[in-house]
Amino acid sequence: MDFPRTVLQQFFSITKLISFHYFEYARGYIFEGEQHDFWEFLYVDKGEVEVRADDITHTLKQGDIIFHKPNEFHTVCVKQHHKPPNLIVMSFECQSGAMAKFENQALRLGDRERNLLSMIVQEGFQAFLPPFDSPSFHVLERNPAAPFGSEQVIRSYLEILFITIVRNGQQMPLSTNKDNKKLSPLHKESAEQQIVQQLIDYMNANVSRSLSHEQLCQTFHIGKSRLKELFQAQMGTGVLEYFKSLKIEQAKTLIREQLYNFTEVANLLGYGSIHYFSRDFKKSTGMSPTDYAKSVMARSVDRLP
């Protein structure tokens, strides 16, 4: 029997990855601009930033993404009144005609797209070696210990992300969404996802406290084993490890804001002493709070040729 073969259609094909960055910028950072013959997108994971694309300037906040088409001149500026941003910036080659849908586009992403982008970032951190936060370093060095198929996973997730954005009629260009309100979820999350999200929201709201498994179990009326199982399955890490990472991320933001000394930062985040804060900070980031402060200040005045 003759079985006909159907050639599957492909609307996006990411052929080459050029850069993969996760930036943490302080107030006052200015990138004076560049243009290149490949695509790039910038996503605001936290805070806010001003981005110029040719002659149009956008103020982007958490959850916003902007695409820069080939040969489009673009700049980045963190104003003094902005919350210090965390930015995901990726550039790549894609000759697919469907990329025209992203020309001159700045959009608000929904939950599904943010989850896909999160998986891309997690995979990128495993596929390549640091630094990921240097605006002048664009060489992707493969990690010899990368999980099997990491680069293909990144490519596949990127293509799925782009398809999902195009499919999603709920997302509006920021130019017609001036109040910058969050859009409603794209689909109802499962009960387990809702529990984990409630846990995350609770930990974010109580990042200045010291929390234990017992306190979380009592608050959410869930058993300790179930709590650990759910969080590990959804987030790939332990619940208290995640809480500690939230503290460190908040600490980095506070340091970049330059409003508090290290002892005050430690107190704001519920640490009993500067010693324990410094220990956790260095374990998480690989550098002391002092070294981190020096690093971000150096980046805030960095310029590309």
* Residue 65 confidence class, pLDDT cut points 50, 70, 90: very high
- What is the tens place of the pLDDT at every residue in 90-120? 999 999 999 999 998 899 998 889 888 988 9
Domains of the chain: 16-176 (2.60.120.280), 191-300 (1.10.10.60)
- pLDDT, greater one: 303 or 45: 45
- What value does the mean pLDDT take over residues 125-147? 87
pLDDT of residue 57: 93
- What is the tens place of the pLDDT at every residue in 172-223? 455 434 444 443 332 334 567 778 888 999 999 999 999 999 999 988 878 8
pLDDT of residue 190: 55
Tokens 């969050």 locate to 182
pLDDT of residue 139: 84
Query: Taking all residues of the chain, what is their mean pLDDT, rounded to a whole number?
Result: 86
Instruction: Report percent pLDDT > 70 for the chain.
Output: 90
Closest CA to 253 of 269, 272, 240: 269
Task: Please answer whether residues 288 and 282 qualify as being in contact, where contact means their C-beta atoms are separated by less than 8 angstroms.
Answer: yes
Tokens 């070696």 locate to 129
- What is the tens place of the pLDDT at every residue in 19-52? 999 988 888 888 888 999 999 999 999 899 999 9
Contacting residues for 263 by C-beta, under 8 A, at least 6 apart: 274
**pTM score of the predicted model:** 0.66
Closest CA to 277 of 217, 210, 219, 216: 210
Q: Quick check: 302 pLDDT over 70?
A: no
Helix, strand, coil abundance in the chain, percent, nearest 5: 40, 20, 40
